[in-house]
Amino acid sequence: MVGFGMRELIRRALPESAHDDTITEPLLKKMQARYAERLPLLPGAVAFPGSYWDEQSREKPERMADFLRHHQAVGRMGTPEEVAWVVTFLCTERARHITGEVIKVDGGQYI
């Protein structure tokens, strides 16, 4: 879970004033220690500036439209914020009884 650009996802979920490694690094370590083995998170196609999907949408718009039409049930790319919201929830006490699940945040990419 922590290996998929999680630092960037956490930063996007936090207010800009909290974009400091003194905040994000301890949160990443806590998440890794507490959840990485118990809660694999599988984000699907997530676009953000500079990402593979961002480049593809600019360089090959027809191919991206085809991908979205045939592989994304919701018809659009996901956002880092949408993945971060799930991660944020999983770090709360409300998710304390969730274990051993593979959680897909993929907009229906693998239905």
- How far is it, in rounded angstroms, from Cα 22 to Cα 10? 13
pLDDT, residue 10, reads 65
Write out pLDDT tens, residues 80-105: 889 888 888 887 888 888 877 788 89
pTM: 0.64
- How far is it, in rounded angstroms, from Cα 93 to Cα 110? 29
